[in-house]
Structure 1
C-alpha cells in the first residue's frame, strides 16, 4: 500500500513538473477591475476615434508622468489611481490599451471606464462612441474568456473571485441624459421614476457581475454634481443647482439600499457603498479649509466663453493648479482628487492589499 502511494505521488509530481499544473491553481495577486465614466477613464476613449468625449488633448495629463495627454480627464491622477496606490493595488490599464495581454491582466487588472458612459445604454448617445455599463460588463466577459483559456476555468474562477471590483457611474445619466430636455428620458420619467429606472438597471448589472465572479465590490455614489462649473454656469448667480444636488442625494440613498440588499442576498458577496457626497461637498463649500482658493470655476478654461466642455489647446490655465478644485467644467483637479481619495480611504477604512511598492505620479505644488 505504501509503495503504491509513493508511486502515485511520484507520478503526480512528474505530471505537475512536465505540464506545469499548479497544485494551488493560481498564485495570482489581487487586482482591480474598474467600471466607470470619465472620472475613472484612464484611456479607453482615446482609442474610440469617433468619440466626442475625449481627453486626448493638451492640457490634459500635464501633471502626470511625461506631461502628455494619456486619456485621463484630469491634469493628473483619478481618484481610483490614488486609492489604488494608497492601498497597494496596481493601476489597471485601459481595456483598449494595445499592450494589454493576459499576463498584464493577471498582474494589473483592467479598467473599462469610458468618458460619457452611464448606467443606461442610452446615456451620452450624442458623444457617438462610449462604453455604457452593460458594454463594459460585456468586455469583462471577454477578459474572462482570455484568462480561462490561459490558466483554466478553475484557476480563473479563483482569480476573479479574489479580485476587487469598482463601479462608479451615474452622473452622466443625469447631466447628459435626464437633465437634457432633448432626450426621451427627460420627458418620460418623473425624478423618482427615473431613479427607480436606474436602480432596476443597476440591480441587474450588479447581479450579472456577481454571477461572473465579483465578490468584493464597491459601488461609489455621486458627489454634489449641481456644483460642478458646468452646472453653475447655468445659473445667473453662479450658484449650485439645487435640483441637481437633490437628485444626487436621492440616487445615493437608493443605491446604498440596493447595494446593502444585494450584499445580504447574493452568496458570498461583500458589496459596499462608497458615499463621497459629504467629502466632495465640504471641499467645494469650504475650499480654503482644504488649501484651495477656487471651487466654482475651472482651472483650464477658454476665457469668457463658457461652458467649454473640454480643455483644449487654446485654453488658458490658472496660475496655480493646486489651488483649484476643478480642472475643467466637469472634472476635479489632481489636488482635489488626492484629497477626496484620502478622505474616502479614511472614511471607508480601506486596508492595504498585496505586497507592492507603487510610486504615484504626484502633481506639482504649483504650475511650472
Structure 2
C-alpha cells in the first residue's frame, strides 16, 4: 500500500514539473524591446500615445482584430520564435498572466516607444524603457522563485532564451528630435558612445539575472521609414539617420562579442539585418514588393505618428508593401527579415513543437 502511494506521488510530482531530477520546464524566451516586438503591453498603458489598438492593426493575425502588434500580422520575433519551436510569450501586462503561463510561455516586456535610454520618447507619456523592462523581469523572477524554489528557478532562467531589440526610438524619438536635450548635449559619436555604454550596463544586469543565451538585434535603415522620408522634399531616405544606425550596429556588435567573451558562460550574439532591409527597400521588386517608400495603411498626405486610424485606407494588396504604417514593416517584410536572420545565424530548433505561425489572409 505504501509503495503504491509513493509511486503515485512520484508520478504527480513529475507531472507538476518538480520531479527529483529537477524542473521539467519548457525552454521559453523573454523579449525586451520596442514597438517592433510589442505584443500588447501598451494596450494596458491607457495614457500611452503609442498604442496599436486601432482598426487595421492585426488584420492579418488570428481573428483579424488588433493584437497589440504594430503591424498587420506577425513580428520578426514571432516568426523566429516559431521557427525555433519556442512558445510565443504573452505581454507582461496581460491580465491572465500567471506563474504557470510564464513557465510554459515566457514573457514579452516590449513596449511601443521604449528605448535604451529612460529619456527616450517621453512625449508618448507611457512606455517601458529597457531599464523598466529589466525591473519588471526581476519581479517575474521573484514570482518563479516563490513557486519552484531558488535552485530550480535559476536553472529555468539560465536555460531560457533572451531577445533585446531596441535602439531605433533612441534616435528617431530622441536624438534626432529638434528639441531633444540629448541632441543639445551630444554629437553623433558621443551619443552613440553614451547609448551603447548604457546598453552594456543593461546587458550585464541581464547576465547577472541568469541570461546566458541572449540575442541583441541591430537596427535597420531607420532613415528610410516613411516618417523620415517626409522630412525630405524629394522623399529620399535620411542618410544621416542611416549612418547613425550603421555606427550603432558596429559599436553594438563589438560590445556583444566582448561581453560574450568575458561574462561567465555567456553566449551573446548580434543579429544584423541592416543589409537585407536596405536591399528590400532599394530593390523591392526583387522580393515581390511594389512599394517600399510609403505605408499600406495611410490617411492620405496627412501623416500622424500612427497612421492606422478608422479613417485610414488600406492599399489594395497588403503583401506588396514593405511598410505597414509610418514606422513599422508589414508582415511580408517581417517574414523576409526573419528568414534572413535565421539564415545568417542558424537558429537551432529548441523545442519539438512551438506555437502556430498564422499566415496573412
Partners of 1:153 and 1:228 lie apart in 2 by: 45
Under a length normalisation based on structure 1, what TM-score does the superposition of the two structures give? 0.93
Counterpart for residue 47 of structure 1: 44
Residues 105-133 of structure 1, C-alpha deviation per residue, up to 9 Å, x if partnerless? Answer: 11110000000000000101000000000
| SS of residue matched to 2:22 | coil
Counterpart for residue 101 of structure 2: 104
1:77-156 aligned at under 5 Å gives the runs: 77-156=74-153
- Check 1:303–1:19 CA distance in 2 against 1; reply closer, same or farther (3 A cut): closer
Partners of 1:17 and 1:296 lie apart in 2 by: 60
Counterpart for residue 217 of structure 1: 214
Q: 1:194 aligns with which of 182, 191, 196?
A: 191
Partners of 1:342 and 1:237 lie apart in 2 by: 32
- Asked whether 1:233 is paired with 2:230, we answer yes
- Asked whether 1:180 is paired with 2:177, we answer yes
Gaps of 5+ in 2: none
Partners of 1:140 and 1:22 lie apart in 2 by: 26
Partners of 1:358 and 1:195 lie apart in 2 by: 37
Instruction: Give the CA deviation at 1:307.
Output: 4.6
Partners of 1:273 and 1:363 lie apart in 2 by: 28
Q: 1:64 aligns with which of 61, 65, 68?
A: 61
Instruction: Give the CA deviation at 1:19.
Output: 9.7
Counterpart for residue 4 of structure 1: none
Instruction: Give the CA deviation at 1:359.
Output: 1.9
Under a length normalisation based on structure 2, what TM-score does the superposition of the two structures give? 0.95
CA contact (8 A) 2:41 2:110 kept: yes
Partners of 2:343 and 2:256 lie apart in 1 by: 20
Counterpart for residue 351 of structure 2: 354
Q: 1:287 aligns with which of 273, 284, 303?
A: 284
Partners of 2:352 and 2:11 lie apart in 1 by: 30
Instruction: Give the CA deviation at 1:329.
Output: 0.3
Residues 198-220 of structure 1, C-alpha deviation per residue, up to 9 Å, x if partnerless? Answer: 11110110000000000000000
Partners of 1:24 and 1:286 lie apart in 2 by: 54
Partners of 1:357 and 1:87 lie apart in 2 by: 7
Aligned residues: CA RMSD: 1.5
Residues 31-90 of structure 1, C-alpha deviation per residue, up to 9 Å, x if partnerless? Answer: 000000000000000000000000111010101011111110001110000111111111
Instruction: Give the CA deviation at 1:309.
Output: 3.0
Could you list the runs of 4 or more consecutive aligned residues of structure 1 that deviate by over 2 angstroms after TM superposition?
A: 13-22, 306-310
1:298-337 aligned at under 5 Å gives the runs: 298-337=295-334
Gaps of 5+ in 1: 1-9
Counterpart for residue 34 of structure 2: 37
Instruction: Give the CA deviation at 1:361.
Output: 1.4
Comparing 303-312 and 99-108, the one that deviates more: 303-312
Residues 185-241 of structure 1, C-alpha deviation per residue, up to 9 Å, x if partnerless? Answer: 010001000001011110110000000000000000000000000001110000000
CA contact (8 A) 1:301 1:308 kept: no
Instruction: Give the CA deviation at 1:181.
Output: 1.2
Counterpart for residue 6 of structure 1: none
